[in-house]
Amino acid sequence: MDPLSDVLSLLKPRNYLSAGLEAGGDWSIQFPDQQAAIKCGAVVSGQCWLSVEGQSDAVRLETGDCFLLPRGRPFRLASDLSLTPVAASTIFSPARTGGITSHNGGGDFLLVSSRFALAGGHAGILLRMLPPIVHIRRESDRSALRWPVERMMQELREPQPGGFLVVEHLAHMILIEALRLHMAQGLRVGWLFALADRQIGVAINAMHDDPAHGWTLQELGERVGMSRSTFALKFKQMVGTSAMDYLTRWRMLLAGDRLANSGDPVSVIALSLGYESESAFSTAFKRVMGCSPRQYGRGRDPSSYGQPSSQAEAANANRFGPIAS
């Protein structure tokens, strides 16, 4: 797989609600904290304002626009932000499983949206590299999202047998396409944008393809046609951490997934990731993940996974930048 697929496979984004909202006239709706979920939406028709808690500037959404709210913050959708908002709980049924909700009679505005929960305690791998609002509005970008959005709208309007799975897959398509489009919007610091770089992206792919290989800066530099020093500098500038720290972090995330979801012993996992001894692997795992492999495998509280176990480890963990949890 490619690195974005690798990370999303580890995080296992689960769409636990896709639904539509129709609104008419003057309206304003306040949505609560999304409980660390990613909110993804697309405007099918009409326009509205989007305001996210903690952000000074609201975003104007037009027909065809898509947005991601990666931080789970409370937000408001409104035809006019000066209106007093009503709570979303007064409009949407707590027991809803999808479908389309109408507000003020509908007719002027139509939105489809999905919420994604990320598995495990490593949501920061993806979320820390994204701004509070990802706004996708270029016509060329919106065209890539048009088909899955329109098909989801059809599924929500006209439920069919197997519709839950169809909507689930469409929601994943929209999420991945939005992340792709965000990657392509320009060069910024962070793992996600590094994937789009011709040279650093190749190096990251190589490490993901064979994490057990004894990669060196020299070998990675040669792989992408750069000198060792130039490659090391560019990688750190783009990703926010060194190539070797990135490789170690990725190995430990893979190890954590296997510890949690397979019966493989620590010694086997260590060898499969390029560690000649279980003790060397365990030392690296505790430094990165904040607990021993056996503690992790016994089901330590997922909310604490990846949290450093001391101030020294906290200082060290901060070096991992956007790939840290």
Query: In tens digits, what is the pLDDT along the chain, a chain of 325 residues?
Result: 788 888 888 777 887 778 899 999 999 999 988 776 788 899 999 999 999 999 889 999 999 999 988 888 899 999 999 999 999 989 887 656 678 899 999 999 999 998 888 765 566 666 766 778 888 887 777 788 888 888 888 888 888 898 888 888 888 888 888 888 887 776 566 777 788 888 999 999 999 999 999 999 999 999 999 999 999 999 999 888 899 999 999 999 899 989 988 888 999 999 999 999 999 999 999 998 889 998 887 654 443 434 433 333 333 333 233 332 2
Residue 47's domain comprises 3-183
Instruction: Clarify whether residues 142 and 247 are in a common domain.
Output: no
Instruction: Clarify whether residues 275 and 178 are in a common domain.
Output: no
Instruction: Clarify whether residues 125 and 223 are in a common domain.
Output: no
Domain of residue 272, CATH code: 1.10.10.60
| Domain final residue, candidates 119, 154, 183 | 183
Instruction: Clarify whether residues 201 and 158 are in a common domain.
Output: no
In 10 A of CB 30, how many CB atoms? 18
| Domain final residue, candidates 183, 200, 226 | 183
Instruction: Clarify whether residues 176 and 205 are in a common domain.
Output: no
d(CA 74, CA 30) in angstroms, rounded, equals: 8
| Domain final residue, candidates 183, 215, 241 | 183
d(CA 7, CA 323) in angstroms, rounded, equals: 10
Whether the model clears a pTM of 0.85, i.e. scores above it, the answer is no
Domain of residue 153, CATH code: 2.60.120.280
Number of domains in the chain: 2
Instruction: Clarify whether residues 176 and 265 are in a common domain.
Output: no
| Beta-ladder partners of 39 | 69, 115
Residues 190, 124 contacting (CB under 8 angstroms): no
d(CA 115, CA 37) in angstroms, rounded, equals: 6
